[in-house]
């Protein structure tokens, strides 16, 4: 992949807005591929959950699908980062999209409802393969962005990618997936959906193949070779282990990178935890249908759009850590506020109607409470952009080209370990303590992470010696 980022002098003169970033043909190709592939992946997540339940009528079977989504990220993300650092990003992106097309073909031909339990087993195996492939795609995509845009456009590029990632989750999992299942797979025949997804991944394969060639990567002669000039299996394992240690040492040596990884992971986990307990919150606190989750999601999505528009104007190299830490603190307080809205509403209603029964007060939810909840959801959307964009920019800006994929591989490993919390703990905690108490605990935990970050420092620390030398080179 060509190093088309400009020299430092020309970077200062390069416009940095989102419109100017989209005029970059190569970045536009990568962005379209991201939008299509992420949307297709979210549709797949929804469809697979529905098909697993249709085949088994078991919630346990659905939980196993979720584990198949998550487990490869924990096992392979770090190793995938090592591999991606050694290969041209264009080749990795193209190959992973092509393998996703292959996975769709497996779903099409071997998961029909007439196969029963056999189809379910194939779904699990194929989903593990599909998710494992994605672990190579994600760090390659993140590491490719700085190769395609000048450094001063990273904030705009990451803002657009962050918005597109969240929008694809909303569009794929909450809109397109349910629509396709309802109208295309009404008889539990999911083959036509998989054909459509295969076509989307095929388009992504073409788009990434059109990215420029010529990226400079480590050649094989930098690895230890035996006397015949052949890399042995032992040397490959040793080299991979060395690269993993080097990546983790690189992260630990830079306090800004380590903090960004933790804080960005927490921000993503918050969204997933809201998704887990959101239906219960609507049902038990607002007396609304759990299917009305859009009441939270739509304001949150709008807040995300506003956040993306604002962060590019407000973010600088000097205020990144302040923006991340205070946004996380505000998000924690917003969760506590969200948890207290129902209690405050019932208290006020009790003051206004002293003779009303507790059941009447609990059942009478005012528009003020719903509007307040929507405002808090909007604020959480804005704050999510104020956390994720500067975090991703920090990881890209402070990691060298030769190690950047390993940094993102480590991030995806930590992120998915943290994401296991809402999948395993939060739902059970909400059943045990109630959604309000769980939401409050979430808020306090997020605020504690923010206070940890503030204690680490609010000014961007100087780059470690190895990073400063890399930047000078």
34-64 pLDDT, tens digit per residue, is 999 999 998 998 888 788 878 877 766 776 7
CA 355 to mean position of chain CA atoms: 49
Query: Where is pLDDT greater, at 465 or 271?
Result: 271
Q: How many C-beta neighbours within 10 Å does residue 199 have? A: 14
Residue with tokens 């980022």: 5
User: Would the pTM count as exceeding 0.85?
Assistant: no
- What does the pLDDT average to over 444-453? 89
Please state, in angstroms and as integers, the Cα–Cα distance from residue 96 to each residue in 80, 91, 133, 282, following that order: 12, 9, 6, 39
Distance from chain centroid for Cα 260: 14
Number of Cα atoms under 13 Å in the Cβ half of residue 335: 28
Nearest Cα neighbor of 175 from 320, 362, 301, 8 is 301
200-204, 314-318, 416-420, range with greatest mean pLDDT: 200-204
CA atoms of 286 and 292, how far apart (whole Å): 11
Alpha helices (runs of H) in 24-110, residue ranges in sequence order: 25-56, 59-86, 89-110
- The pLDDT tens digits for 121-152 are 889 999 999 999 988 888 888 888 888 988 78
Q: Is 394 left (phi over 0), alpha (psi -120 to 50) or beta?
A: alpha
Residue-wise pLDDT tens digits, 181-195: 878 876 777 889 999
How many Cβ atoms are within 10 Å of 288's Cβ, its own excluded?
A: 17
Q: pLDDT category, 466, cuts 50, 70, 90?
A: low
How far apart, in whole angstroms, are the C-alpha atoms of residue 453 and residue 198?
A: 43
């Amino acid at each position: 992949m060509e190093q088309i980022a400009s020299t430092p002098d020309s970077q200062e003169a390069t416009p940095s807005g989102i419109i100017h970033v989209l005029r970059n043909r190569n970045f536009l190709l990568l962005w379209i591929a991201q939008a299509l592939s992420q949307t297709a992946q979210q549709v797949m997540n929804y469809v697979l959950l529905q098909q697993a339940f249709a085949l088994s009528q078991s919630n346990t079977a659905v939980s196993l699908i979720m584990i198949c989504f998550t487990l490869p990220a924990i096992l392979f993300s770090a190793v995938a980062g090592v591999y991606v650092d050694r290969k041209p990003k264009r080749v990795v992106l193209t190959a992973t999209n092509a393998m996703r097309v292959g996975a769709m073909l497996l779903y099409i031909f071997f998961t029909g409802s007439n196969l029963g339990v056999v189809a379910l087993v194939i779904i699990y195996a194929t989903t593990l393969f599909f998710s494992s492939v994605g672990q190579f795609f994600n760090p390659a995509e993140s590491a490719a962005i700085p190769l395609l845009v000048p450094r001063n456009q990273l904030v705009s590029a990451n803002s657009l990618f962050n918005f597109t990632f969240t929008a694809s989750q909303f569009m794929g999992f909450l809109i397109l997936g349910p629509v396709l299942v309802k109208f295309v797979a009404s008889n539990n025949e999911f083959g036509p959906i998989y054909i459509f997804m295969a076509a989307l991944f095929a388009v992504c394969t073409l788009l990434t193949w059109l990215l420029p060639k010529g990226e400079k990567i480590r050649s094989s002669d930098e690895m230890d070779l035996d006397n015949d000039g052949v890399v042995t299996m032992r040397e490959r394992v040793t080299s991979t282990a060395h690269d993993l240690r080097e990546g983790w040492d690189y992260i630990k040596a830079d306090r800004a990178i380590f903090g960004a990884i933790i804080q960005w992971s927490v921000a993503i986990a918050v969204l997933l935890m809201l998704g887990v307990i959101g239906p219960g919150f609507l049902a038990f606190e607002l007396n609304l249908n759990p299917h009305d989750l859009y009441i939270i999601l739509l304001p949150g999505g709008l807040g995300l759009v506003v956040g993306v528009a604002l962060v590019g104007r407000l973010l600088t190299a000097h205020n990144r850590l302040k923006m991340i830490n205070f946004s996380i603190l505000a998000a924690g307080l917003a969760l506590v506020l969200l948890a207290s809205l129902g209690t405050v509403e019932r208290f006020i209603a009790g003051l206004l109607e002293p003779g009303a029964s507790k059941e009447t007060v609990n059942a009478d939810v005012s528009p003020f409470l719903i509007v307040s909840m929507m405002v808090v959801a909007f604020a959480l959307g804005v704050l999510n952009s104020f956390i994720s964009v500067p975090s991703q920019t920090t990881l890209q800006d402070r990691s060298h080209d030769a190690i950047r994929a390993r940094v993102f591989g480590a991030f995806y490993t930590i992120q998915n370990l943290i994401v296991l919390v809402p999948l395993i703990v939060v739902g059970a905690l909400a059943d045990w303590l109630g959604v309000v108490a769980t939401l409050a605990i979430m808020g306090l935990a997020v605020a504690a992470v923010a206070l940890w970050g503030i204690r680490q420092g609010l000014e961007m620390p100087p780059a470690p010696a190895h990073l400063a030398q890399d930047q000078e080179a």
